[in-house]
């Protein structure tokens, strides 16, 4: 893969169509995605849906207006082959992991749908904004059932039910030269009067939205995962007949695991000495595992007493 093509991945694109009250996001993940996946030896079905989740997290995360804001997406169930899938985004950094039952996973079909992987579960999307004021920020969470064929279907349902925001999402995943590449498009209809969360009701049957949705549906999986196709070119192909399409690069994506040995040590040091002894192993170490990056951090009791 050429250096030129690599510059067209891991760099999301924001765009808007002012005359049609629409905004969109395009993203294609390569190096960042493979760095996240490399932390665990995921089976193909788990790898695929985690890749889809990371693309969705990047698409949703780039709607945050504040660099300190965080988007967390979590899919969870009690009886499915995948019991937990969680991803988050903050200032361009994404991370994610999945917990699964290998025995149950062996029983799913070759190309499993959402129900085959999760059974009955839910999707939770949480926006954490840095300001406590309800108008400007704070925490907002929406929860919807895990329904539809794909995780993208459940995400569209989240916007429909929790935010009353007509949304189109398409995600594609492919393997190129032994690497996983995943791309996604999200387009949303924002009615006149959009101010923060105080939006007017958005009609899903509005002619402007119907027009944008029909154009968006012409996107192909091949375009989304083509590492040599700039995202700007995709936006142009979809909406070149419109009066104006504004584009703006979003922060470049990075692998965002935030585990830090010094922070972990400081947190453990706050526990009473008796509890730290109970947490330690036979060697006198408290071993902390990071599920996201699959790293372990041994913290010795001796170091905590200094």
Return the pLDDT at 131. 63
Q: Locate the domains of the chain by residue range.
A: 3-255, 261-304
The percentage of residues in the chain with a pLDDT greater than 70, rounded to a whole number, is: 88
Continuous segment of H or E residues that includes residue 189: strand 179-189
Q: Say how many C-beta atoms besides its own lie within 10 A of residue 178's C-beta.
A: 6
Return the pLDDT at 84. 93
Of 2 and 205, the one with more pLDDT: 205
Return the pLDDT at 270. 81
What average pLDDT does range 122-150 have in this prediction? 81
The percentage of residues in the chain with a pLDDT greater than 90, rounded to a whole number, is: 58
Of 132 and 299, the one with more pLDDT: 299
- CA pair distance 140, 202, nearest whole angstrom: 19
Q: Which token pair is 66? A: 């504040």
Best CATH choice for the domain 3-255 from the list 3.30.1200.10, 3.55.30.10, 3.30.360.10, 3.40.50.1100: 3.55.30.10
Return the pLDDT at 17. 93
Phi and psi for 153 in degrees, rounded to 5?
Answer: -60, -45
| pTM attached to this predicted model | 0.84
Tens of pLDDT along 249-268? 888 999 877 676 776 777 78
Return the pLDDT at 265. 75
Tens of pLDDT along 84-123? 999 999 999 999 999 999 999 999 988 899 999 999 999 9
CA distances from 158 to 48, 89, 216, 279, 305 (A): 21, 18, 19, 40, 48
CA distances from 181 to 178, 239, 244 (A): 10, 24, 30
Confidence at 132, pLDDT banded by 50, 70, 90: low
Tens of pLDDT along 166-190? 999 999 999 988 899 999 999 999 8
Continuous segment of H or E residues that includes residue 264: helix 261-269
Phi and psi for 95 in degrees, rounded to 5?
Answer: -150, 160
Tens of pLDDT along 37-67? 988 889 999 999 999 999 999 999 999 888 8
Phi and psi for 293 in degrees, rounded to 5?
Answer: -105, 0
pLDDT score of 135 more than 60: no
pLDDT score of 2 more than 60: no
């Amino acid at each position: 893969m050429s250096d030129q093509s690599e510059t067209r991945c891991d760099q999301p694109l924001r765009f808007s169509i002012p005359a049609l009250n629409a905004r969109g996001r395009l993203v294609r993940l390569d190096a960042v995605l493979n760095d996240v996946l490399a932390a665990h030896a995921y089976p193909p079905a788990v790898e695929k849906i985690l890749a889809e989740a990371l693309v969705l997290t990047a698409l949703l995360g780039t709607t945050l207006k504040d660099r300190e804001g965080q988007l967390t997406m979590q899919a969870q169930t009690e009886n499915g082959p995948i019991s937990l899938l969680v991803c988050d985004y903050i200032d361009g950094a994404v991370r994610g992991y999945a917990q699964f039952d290998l025995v149950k996973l062996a029983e799913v079909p070759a190309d499993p749908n959402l129900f085959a992987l999760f059974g009955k579960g839910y999707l939770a999307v949480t926006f954490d904004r840095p300001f406590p004021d309800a108008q400007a920020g704070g925490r907002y969470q929406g929860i919807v059932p895990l329904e539809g064929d794909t995780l993208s279907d459940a995400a569209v349902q989240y916007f429909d039910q929790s935010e009353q925001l007509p949304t189109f999402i398409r995600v594609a995943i492919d393997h190129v030269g032994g690497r996983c590449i995943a791309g996604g498009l999200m387009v949303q209809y924002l009615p006149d009067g959009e101010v923060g969360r105080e939006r007017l009701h958005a009609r899903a049957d509005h002619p402007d939205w119907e027009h944008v949705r029909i154009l968006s549906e012409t996107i192909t999986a091949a375009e989304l995962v083509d590492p040599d196709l700039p995202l700007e070119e995709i936006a142009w192909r979809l909406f070149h007949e419109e009066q104006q399409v504004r584009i703006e690069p979003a922060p470049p994506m990075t692998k965002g695991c935030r585990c830090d040995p010094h922070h972990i040590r400081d947190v453990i040091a706050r526990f009473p000495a008796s509890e730290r002894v109970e947490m330690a192993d036979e060697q006198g170490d408290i071993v902390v595992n990071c599920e996201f990056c699959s790293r372990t951090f041994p913290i010795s009791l001796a170091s905590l007493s200094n």
